[in-house]
Structure 1
Amino acid sequence: MRRVLALTCLLLLPVMAALAPASARAASTPDPYVAAAVDTWRGGDPVFVSAESGAVSPDDAADLRARIVGWRDDVFVAVLPALALRQSATDDDVDEASALLDQLYAGLGRDDALLVVAFSGAGTYAAGYGDAPGADDLGRIVAEELDAHTLGQVDQVLEGTLDRLGAPAPDDGVSAWWVAAAVLAGAALATAATLGVVRWRRGRPRTRPSGETWAGAAAYRPSFTVYGDQSDTVEHRAALAREDVTRLGEELDAADPPLDDPTVAAHVQAALDAYADASRRVDGLSVGLSTDDELRALGEVTEFARWQLACARAALTGATPPARRVPCFVDAAHGVSVADVSWAPPGGTLRPVPVCRACFDRITGGAA
């Protein structure tokens, strides 16, 4: 059994390759992440994304799935939270990843397989087993993709790996039946979410003396829609984006968490990496020529950095990592939002607004 392992950790460690006999497969009982991934793979879905990871969106996962289904049946992708690397007693990330990949391979029950596993911002590892085409090159391919992207660009690393393995583009008609099934499933989920929101609201929207309107909790669907009652310009939003990146750097400096715990260090490194990416994007904004697409991408990077910092703080206290959500609409300095409320400015359009816990309590309690 041949295994080629590619990885990136805090400082993008060099690629490591190893030859190991079949007896070296992990014999321990698979942890919940392994069991969930294997069940998904064996059920016919080659892409498993843990709900705790937050590193790959459902749309990105669907694109990956559409490229693999109908192309090859020996390529499998998993996106797990960074904590999945911390299940064993060893202090070596490479050993932990190798053992986890071996567990995945053993549970899969195949002779040949290519496995690519991303651990949010903590690292991406790949292993080729048996005589699967591309097994010898997989380690080099993933390592080069990691070198070309930041730790936060997990979806781009995975897409680039499939590109170089020869996978067809998502729109090549490889898996029309699967795409149709995904659309139907998404419609069902959207319907269920809508019904849930209708039940929660318990009445008509309420207008306050200030002219604001609040209609209860809103379904979480981050949007960059520009409403008719918004009078700001792209240049104004670009200026705010520059200020936000500066503020993000100040937040990272002020946090300065201890890095003794590898999990905390991985999250902090991911946040710093995303901040560096955001700084490059800000420097590339053209005065008077910035676009909403550029600002959307920049906002996603700064949001990822703040989420990773929140995960580091949670790891320090032993708390559950927070769900990945956009910053508070009222003030990004409030931190990651915890819920959405339907809100409108005086005379404006009702829209979903993500808010932090304190703002949620103030708004739902009647305060403007």
Structure 2
Amino acid sequence: MTRYLRLLGTLALVAAPVLAASPAHAATPTPTPKPSKPPTSRPTYKYTQPRYTPPDIEGDRQRAQAAAETYMNGVAAKLGDPGIWVDPAVTRLSSSEVVELNRAVRSAAAPMRIAVIPASAIDTAYKSTYSYSSRVRLAWTGEEIASQLYDRVGVEGVYAVLVDASSEAKGRGFHAVQHADKGPTYHVGDAVDEAVDCCAPDYDAILTRFIQRAQLIDKPFYIDAAPYAGGVAGLAVLWWGGTTLSARRARRSDEKQHLEVAVPVLNEEIIGLSQQVSALPATSDPQQAKLSQEVLDAVEKARHRLDEAKGDDDTAAVATLLGSARYGLVCLAAVRAGKPIPEPTPPCFFDPRHGPSTTAVEWAPEGGTDREVRVCAACAAKVAAKQEPDIRMVTLRDRPRPYWTLGEELASYMDGYWTMGDGTRWWFPDQDARRAGEAMRSRWGSRRPGARLSRFSDDLSTAMSSRSSSSSWSSSDDDDNDSGSSWSSGSSRRRHSYSSRTRSSGGGSSRRSSRRSGGSRGF
């Protein structure tokens, strides 16, 4: 405690002189207000925002198109006669080379007019002041560039335009076309391909090779093939004759087997029908006598036709005659009974010997499905009574079978019975028999030379289409992989050409002559 008191005393002794030396605080004076200045007016500035005018892109393109057409008119004026004209802006051809090329063009067999122009002269792409885009849009593309020159000159011949640029992406390419209504056709398209493939990008070499190739006449194929046409025609005739003979022999072999089955069946029916006709009573009624004579004539014709039968056509005709004879017997019975003559109907399905059918019933063969068949009255009664009808059985290889199961051997038998004398055919109810007959006739037709040629052409077209589809898939894959570099690399692929049949504005030709040949390549 004593120590703290001593410390306070010491501090008081030190602070006393300092406080005594400091002056006393004076009172704060009141500030005097300053006189106010009159307000001054500030100048007013009026700001006018400049109006924005959008670029006239479409108008610029139209003006560029008009400039390109005007330029092409000037080029055409330089080529009134066959020759070559090089724009002074193109520096890749020397004057001596131009002289030699012009001499070659004038001495060529084909009338040629060739122009070498810069791509900028026919470029219609929009160029903005603030944009540095290098995109090129030519006024015309492909063969149409050369056709535009033809439109303005108006003389038939070969026209070629070499567009000068630094690369294909900038518009560099070679385009040529031949317009003519008369005269020979020249190898213009092949000349363009050959010139670009061998010599690009050397302008002098390209044009020299084109002039040499484009004046060669493109002869029709038949002229070159004429020396060989005789031999080829002879071989074709021999093949056609041999194939026809082979097809006939194969059909005759099949028909010979059919005759072995059908002739005994028809001969049996002719004998039975002859006995039935012979038992007819004599009559003095003219109508009955006429019907009896028609039946007798039909049976006699069937007998003679069967004796001379050589194929299915003969047996079918015999069956048709027998069906007509049986229909005549039904008509004769109706006249005798004083009834009207019935309409012709197909024969009884179970046995054609029963005569024309009278009604339709539902019937199913053993192991088959129900079907509607037209039958005679006796067979209809048996079917209604759940009895087995009398079916025409034919023995083949010591085995009796229903006649409709022999769809190939007795196809002519069924066709003949289900055909009227005027050629009208009825529908045969058994589907398996119809299919067997159709398959047989299809086999015969496929052996003919015309059918073989048709199959060969179909197989060839199928193979070519499958090959082209596979190549298109592979090429599309390549295009997908290389799409980014196809333009920049300056590839020599064929560019799509455009050819118009309409006359361009400012042209010198009232109409275009026929396009004979042409080609277009970028490089």
Shorter-chain TM-score tier = 0.3 to 0.5
RCO greater where, 1 or 2, for CA within 8 Å and sep 6 or more? 2
Q: State the TM-score, normalized to the length of structure 2.
A: 0.23
Q: Please tell me whether Structure 1 or Structure 2 has the larger radius of gyration of its CA atoms.
A: 2
Q: State the TM-score, normalized to the length of structure 1.
A: 0.33
